[in-house]
Amino acid sequence: MIKNKSIAVLPFVNLSNNIDNEYFCDGLTEEIIYALAKIKDLVVTSRTSSFYFKNKKVTANEIREKLRVATFIEGSVRASKKRMRITVQMIDTLEDFHFWSETFDRNPDDIFEIQDEISLFIAEKLREHVGHIEIEDKLVEPIDVPVNIYREYLKGRYYLMKLDYDSSLKAIEIFKSIIKKSPKFANPYLDINQAYTFMGTMGLLPAFEAFQKAQPFFEKAMSLNPNSSRVQLNLSWIECWQNWNLKKAFEHANKALEIQQADDIYLTISNFLTVEGKLDAARNYLDKALQLDPYAAINHHYKGFLYYLQEDYSTAIPFLKKALELDPMLPFPPIYIGICLLMSGKPNEALTYFGSLEGVSVKDLTKLGGKTMCYAKLNETEKCNDGLKELETYLTTPLVDKAFTFLILVNALLGNNEKVVDLVTQAYHSRLPLILLLNPSPILKPVKNHKGFKEIMLKAIPDNVNYKQKKKYKQALLDTNEIKKYSKELEQIMIDYKLYLNPDLSLKDLASYLELPANYVSQLLNLGFQKNFSEYVNSYRVNEFKERVLLEEYKGLTLMAVAYDSGFNSKTVFNTFFKKIEGTTPNSYLRSNQAN
């Protein structure tokens, strides 16, 4: 089902024979996407999927079918030294008609005002067309840098988003030059961090070297703008993958989500839930990421990866192949395409697949590790031992993480459980991030209950559902002890994960966190709290609103803006529940507490 309040912004077309104007067009498109994403009850397609259609002729029906949006924006920019003409039009994808078009003739030096003006125009016209949405007075905050430096920054972003090695290095050069001229401009630090992290993740640089280079730039960005969504998202990654503190990781990720809905934030939360073994909940969040960015290769890869973890190999492979179709250089899908073939009883087909790999997947040990796994499954002992010896040579190189991963998986397939535990223990003491993804691996099921393996997993991931007693569900209602037990567990989950801040939270989402069927959770809410789902979740949102509305940082916002930040997505629902719970209106509550 396509939401009525959903929109995509296609890349603005450059009508000038000037490459600098191309940078501006892409930058303007990005800024409008980012600005509209701040509107809480609006679904905005992310950058990757919007830019998939750059320089392509598409119909309204194609946009509706491929991006699943009710409305989209297209525009063009023609610029000279003194004037800039920007044409913007809004199209209804169902009826295929242009219900709004506007031309802006502006001074090119007024770049921040242009971005804000156009974003607000789009939001206002969209509200007229689809119904009420709460819009702030300003959607684009001006950046305190000269216009010529900001234009240079857009050039850096242009190269950064090409997502290849040479362009990433060029972007880093540009950003470093900007930092020398404007050292208090936070964005270039974050973008250098992103460039190095990308190259390390994709295997274009040794991961350790790349992350080490990225770290000082991130720390500087954090000191300049600690409350940006991108900073909070990076902090969540650090807490998970470096510090192994999932509680703090969730806190930072949820804070990022409060600031802005974005597919990479939903994907990140899905990652964390996967680490804990909460695969149903992880898939719910991943589906939200795919809704916002259906052309992001990493989102399709992760959907396939989740099906792989649930041992649904035939369903996993098409998602993994789609990821490679969207980004042939993405290093992760080939690993799991081959393993899915191997684990579904096709070792020879898997061996042929791994043997045919070229490019990134060869450099990152996927070909070597994959073939060695196949030899283990095919009982080709000599070739398997040769592969193991070669993998061991990489334990003192930047590819140590991948080498450990394949050594662990191969030994698990051979049934060498003691060797697996020894390798896992070494990886744990070296604080290698791979430890966190061993938890849900189907290949490691035979070693899961080994005392040494279990101890390591519970040290790394205390809230580990793989080591909770399996629940057997019965037809009758939950008994008194179960209601008490699950009520406490649910309250702790609401506190730790702040699920109520997600305006699209469903009963199914809540159930996936408890690892219970949805009908059990519905019974639990009724019997344990005497509330239905809406009453239960909105009571948390009301309490959140009461706390926020009295804080100094929220004094400049409208009551509804605070309500949206607290998880509500409807003015009527907010007012109704607030009065029902508090016995007074939000305005009266605020006046009474301000007086005190």
Split at pLDDT 50, 70, 90, the class of 464 is low
Same domain, 402 and 378: yes
Question: Using CB atoms within 10 A of its CB, is residue 109 exposed (0-12), middle (13-18) or buried (19+)?
Answer: middle
SS (H, E, C) 23-77: HHHHHHHHHHHHHHCCCCCCEECCHHHHHCCCCCCCCHHHHHHHHCCCEEEEEEE
Q: Which of 111-120, 235-244, 287-296, 310-319 has the highest mean pLDDT?
A: 310-319
**Structure-token match 């703090």, residue found:** 248
Q: What are φ and ψ of residue 441, in 5° steps?
A: -65, 125
Least trusted range by pLDDT, from 380-389, 444-453, 507-516: 507-516
Q: What is the mean pLDDT of residues 505-520?
A: 82
Q: How far apart are CA 354 and CA 361, in angstroms?
A: 9
- CA-CA distance, 147 to 108, in Å (whole number)? 9
CA distance 75 to 322: 29
Q: Quick check: 218 pLDDT over 80?
A: yes
Q: Which amino acid would we find at residue 434? A: L
The mean predicted confidence, pLDDT, of the chain is 87
Residue 499 and residue 493 in contact, taking contact as beta carbons nearer than 8 Å: yes
427 in a structural domain: yes
Looking at residue 463, its pLDDT comes to 63
Cα gap 453→317, rounded to integer Å: 29
Average pLDDT over residues 364-391: 95
Sign (positive/negative) of CA torsion 326, 267, 142, 8? positive
Structural domain contains residue 161: yes
**CB distance 483 to 517 below 8 Å:** no
Identify the pLDDT of residue 316.
97
**Identity (one letter) of the amino acid at 291?**
Q
Question: What is the model's pLDDT at position 469?
Answer: 45
Structure tokens at 562: 């605070």
Q: Quote the pLDDT of residue 558.
A: 85
Boundary residue ending a domain (96, 130, 164):
130
Domain ends where: 468, 503, 537? 468
pLDDT at 520: 85
Quickly state the pLDDT bin for 473 (edges 50, 70, 90).
very low
Residues 396 and 440 in one domain: yes
Whether the predicted pLDDT of 411 surpasses 90: yes
Tell me the mean pLDDT in the region 203-210.
72
**Structure token digits, residue 345:** 């009883």
Q: Domain check: are 120 and 73 in the same one?
A: yes
pLDDT of residue 472: 47
Residue 509, domain CATH: 1.10.10.60
Residue 596: per-residue pLDDT: 56
In a domain, residue 409? The reply is yes
* Distance (Å, whole) CA 189 – CA 183: 9
Residue 154 lies in domain = 147-226
What phi and psi values does residue 506 have, to the nearest 5 degrees? Answer: -120, 170
Tell me the three state secondary structure of residue 476.
coil
Mean pLDDT, residues 376-394 taken together:
95
Residue at 47 is within a domain = yes
pLDDT of residue 200: 76
Could you give the residue ranges of the DSSP H alpha helices within 69-160?
Answer: 111-130, 147-160
Residue 501 lies in a domain: yes
- On whether both 47 and 152 belong to a single domain, the answer is no
Positive or negative: CA dihedral 337, 342, 346, 351 = positive
108 and 48 in a common domain: yes
> Could you give the CA distance from residue 31 to residue 154 in angstroms, rounded to a whole number?
11
Confidence of residue 8 (pLDDT cuts 50, 70, 90): very high
87: which strand partners?
A: 76, 103
β-pair type (71-79, 84-92) = antiparallel
pLDDT at residue 81, as a whole number: 74
What is the per-residue pLDDT across 567-592, written as a single tens digit (0 to 9) for each? Answer: 888 888 899 899 988 889 998 888 88
Q: What is the mean pLDDT of residues 538-558?
A: 86
Contact between 149 and 159 under an 8 Å Cβ cutoff? The reply is: no
pLDDT band at 444 (very low <50, low <70, confident <90, very high): very high
Query: Averaged over 504-530, what is the pLDDT?
Result: 84
| pLDDT given for residue 466 in this prediction | 59
* 326 found inside a domain: no
Please state which of the ranges 15-29, 131-145, 363-377, 387-401 shows the lowest mean pLDDT.
131-145
Query: Is 321 inside any structural domain?
Result: no
Higher-scoring residue by pLDDT: 207, 541: 541
Q: Return the exposure string of 166-179: e unless at least 16 CB atoms fall within 10 Å of the residue's CB, then b.
A: eebebbbebbeebb
Rg of the chain over Cα atoms, rounded to whole angstroms, equals 26
Q: Does 344 reside within a domain?
A: no
Q: Which two tokens stand for residue 50?
A: 């919007």
Please report how the helices 366-377 and 333-343 are oriented relative to each other, as an axis angle in degrees rounded to 10: 10
The pLDDT of residue 504: 78
Do 33 and 123 belong to one domain? yes
Provide the pLDDT confidence category of residue 557 given band limits of 50, 70 and 90. Answer: confident
Length of the chain: 596
Dist. CA 563–CA 219, nearest whole Å: 32
Residue at which a domain ends, from 201, 226, 251: 226
CA angle 143/149/153 to nearest 5° reads 80
Residues 14 and 124 in one domain: yes
Alpha-carbon distance 491 to 242, whole Å? 28
The total number of structural domains in the chain stands at: 4
pLDDT at 467: 57
471 pLDDT exceeds 60? no
Strands 84-92 and 97-106: antiparallel
Residue 49 pLDDT greater than 70, yes or no: yes
Q: Are residues 497 and 552 in the same domain?
A: yes
Q: Is there a single domain that holds both residue 458 and residue 498?
A: no
What CATH number has the domain bearing residue 90? 3.40.50.10610
Question: pLDDT by residue (tens digit) across 109-152?
Answer: 888 888 888 888 888 888 888 777 777 777 777 788 888 898 89
Q: Are residues 173 and 82 in the same domain?
A: no
Highest mean pLDDT (candidates 171-180, 201-210, 287-296, 482-491): 171-180
According to the model, what pLDDT value does residue 203 have? 62
What's the mean pLDDT in 484-492? 87
Looking at 346-450, list the stretches that DSSP marks H as alpha helix, in order from N- to C-terminal side: 347-355, 360-363, 366-377, 381-392, 400-414, 417-429, 434-438
Among 52-61, 346-355, 365-374, where is mean pLDDT lowest? 52-61
Determine the Cα–Cα distance for residues 504 and 292; give it in Å rounded to an integer.
13
Do 549 and 522 share a structural domain? yes
For range 76-82, the mean pLDDT: 84
Cβ atoms within 10 Å, residue 334: 26
The tally of CA atoms less than 13 A away on the side-chain side of residue 494 is 21
CB 503 within 8 A of CB 40: yes
Residues 453, 501 within the same domain: no
CATH code, domain carrying 175 = 1.25.40.10
The label of the residue with tokens 């919007």 reads: 50
User: What pTM was estimated for this model as a whole?
Assistant: 0.74
Which of 241, 9, 274 has the alpha carbon at shortest distance from 123? 9
- Roughly how many angstroms between the first and final C-alpha of the chain, as a whole number? 47
77 within 8 A of 154, measured Cβ to Cβ: no
- Average pLDDT on 181-188 reads 93
